[in-house]
Chains A and B, each alone.
Chain A
Amino acid sequence: MNATAPDSPALSHVSEDGTPTPVEVENLQFHYGSFHALKDLNLRFAGTGATALIGPSGCGKSTFLRIFNRIYELYPGQHAEGSIRIDGENVLDPHTDLNELRTKVGMVFQRPTPFPMSIFENVAFAVRKVQRIGKQELADRVEWSLSKAGLWEEVKDSLRKPGSALSGGQQQRLCIARTIALQPSVLLLDEPTSALDPYSVQKVEALVEELKNEFKIIIVTHNMSQARRVSEETVFMVRGEVVEFAPTRELFDSPREDRTRAYLQVGDL
């Protein structure tokens, strides 16, 4: 029952010599109308592994993630300046092909959003639309994605059932599966476990542990121990600004900033 992995998704942001190019954020500003939500972010994320974004609610974590795939452009009055470089290309470049960008930068939301179709179709739908791929290859891809998402064993006999029939935790893994089915190079997770039960949280965390070997992961979480468990580097933000950015262990064990220390002690209030 092993998923026959179609060629494992090569990290596309790997440079010629084999080292992944980092994700570079420069002079990034974001506005909701006249509200200045992100103030001049400058960061350089490792090209592999997981980066955690933490900070009090409303500090701009989701806003930040939503720039990576430019999903904010769906709404009037929201705009970003500066640059985010993935594979050396600035995603904010006006010439960027948005649909292509979004297949390269996958996003999973806080609440699971299964499409009104079968479990199989939930995963296959976008793959079929976006890539030219044969029937058998598609079936393999679905199995591969569901296996990666730790869901295959649970759903392999009910692929025709509607996605909405799954439990919340399973739905979230289904959403992860359909995102990685496109073999993106970056995976954005916005509080992916905050609406889930403890069992599913554990499942998804294990999943992140595994996936980060293949995809660059940026995960927003309000759960400190989760950030600690799954990430190699952590960004701590307050009110649209970066307070501290450091390797995860360093940031949690010996924060340089007082504000970081205070936040880690009191938590997200």
Chain B
Amino acid sequence: MSRSLSFGRRAKNSLFYLFSVFTTLFALFFLGAIFWELIRSGFAGLDWSDFTENTPPPMTDGGFLNALVGSLIMTTIAMSLATVVGVLVATFLSEFRKQARLGSVVRFLNDILLSAPSIIIGLFIYALLVVPFGGFSGIAGSIALAIVALPMITRTCEDVLRIVPDQLREAGIALGLKRSTVTLRIIYRSARAGMVTAVLLALGRVAGETAPLLFTALNNSGFSANLFAPMPNLPVMIYQFAMSPYENWKELAWAASLLITVFILALNVFSRVIFRPSTSS
């Protein structure tokens, strides 16, 4: 086979191959460097008190308990909202195809939302919920995050629902089952792994989002679980602390960065693992 190739073509082939390998290594090198720095500085800053103490004033010891709890609260609310709405919209798009025209409008809007920079979503919520209601709040932050997650969940869920063969829907309908029963008990079950993956991937995206929170939840140096007050959170804390001149703040920022990165990595690996069985069947 290779004999039929001329010398020139073989040379070009090898050259191109080497070039690809080199570029790949180049990219991997930077990825590795980032990880290395993150792990080195992150672990150095990470200790138990990070999880038991609130964010400290400059030059004093402390942790990021308040920011972690704030992030957990806002992420949980955001993901609950986005999952419910996203699954419903995806269901409308994939199961009510007789409404094709409305469906394509909704899909178009969703795609716009999907490609909207998250800072714009932050600004939008700032104008809609922060200014009129007199201040930054955890609920505004949650809603901004929900809007980031929503189009991802909608899009991926629609895709996995559409993969379910029409014959399965017809088989359910042909047994005299109600449309809702077929959707809830048969179609969702078939698409379950893909839908869970969609939610996990959106969660991974939302977990590190900073821009939508800057204008909405802002930050809070103390512990606050009040949804109607500014709420501390990890991304904005990292943003503020990393840029500060204070060593202890920088250390906390690195530790929090490591935490978020490991969480997102774990989510991605986990979602790959759960999606595998259903793609093979």
Q: A residues touching B (Cβ–Cβ < 8 Å)?
A: 69, 71, 74-76, 99-103, 106-107, 109, 111, 113, 115-117, 125-126, 129-130, 164, 175, 178-179, 182
Contact = CB atoms under 8 A, between A and B. Distances in A.
B170 to A, nearest CB: 6
B176 A74 contact: no
A126 B176 contact: yes
A178 B175 contact: yes
Contacts of B208: none
Interface string B159-193: 00000010111111111111001000110011010
Given A99-B177, A116-B190, A71 B170 contact: yes
Nearest 7 A-B pairs (CB), nearest first? A103-B176, A102-B176, A126-B175, A113-B171, A107-B174, A99-B176, A116-B189
Nearest to A131: B176
A126 B177 contact: yes
B174 A71 contact: yes
Interface of B: 97-98, 100, 165, 167-178, 181, 185-186, 189-190, 192, 281
Q: Which of B171, B189, B190, B281 has the most CB of A within 10 A?
A: B171
21 contacts: A71-B174, A74-B173, A75-B98, A100-B176, A101-B176, A102-B175, A106-B174, A106-B175, A113-B167, A113-B170, A115-B189, A116-B186, A116-B189, A117-B189, A125-B185, A130-B175, A130-B176, A179-B174, A179-B175, A182-B175, A182-B176
Nearest to A130: B176
Contacts of B190: 116
Nearest to A162: B281
Nearest to A179: B175
A106 B165 CA distance: 19
Given A106-B174, A178-B175, 18 more contacts: A69-B174, A71-B174, A76-B97, A76-B100, A101-B176, A102-B174, A102-B176, A107-B174, A109-B174, A115-B189, A126-B175, A126-B176, A129-B177, A129-B181, A130-B175, A179-B174, A179-B175, A182-B175
B191 to A, nearest CB: 9
* A interface, over-half SS: helix
B89 to A, nearest CB: 20
Contact of B172 (A69, A75, A76, A115): A115
A74 B178 CA distance: 12
Contacts of B172: 115, 126
Contacts of A103: 175-176
A126 B192 CA distance: 20
B189 to A, nearest CB: 5
B52 to A, nearest CB: 45
Contacts of A182: 175-176
Given A129-B177, A182-B176, A109 B100 contact: no
A107 B177 CA distance: 13
B170 A130 contact: no
A69 B186 CA distance: 20
Given A116-B189, A164-B281, A175 B176 contact: no
Contacts of B169: 74
Given A99-B176, A126-B176, A130-B176, A109 B171 contact: yes
B176 to A, nearest CB: 4
B179 to A, nearest CB: 9
Contacts of B165: 113
Q: Which of A76, A100, A107, A116 has the most chain B CB atoms inside 10 A of its CB?
A: A116
Nearest to A113: B171
Contacts of A76: 97-98, 100
Given A76-B98, A115-B186, A116-B189, A102 B173 contact: yes
**Residue of A76, A107, A115, A179 contacting most chain B CB atoms (<10 Å):** A115
A98 B113 CA distance: 39
Contacts of A107: 174
B170 A109 contact: yes
B188 to A, nearest CB: 9
Contact of A130 (B167, B173, B177, B185): B177
Contacts of B176: 99-103, 126, 130, 182
Contacts of A109: 167, 170-171, 174
B167 A99 contact: no
A69 B174 CA distance: 7
Contacts of A117: 189
Contacts of A113: 165, 167-168, 170-171
Nearest to A125: B185
A113 B192 CA distance: 17
A77 B165 CA distance: 20
A156 B232 CA distance: 58
A115 B171 contact: yes
A59 to B, nearest CB: 21
Contacts of B100: 76
A115 B173 contact: no
Nearest to B168: A113
A12 B152 CA distance: 51
A137 to B, nearest CB: 18
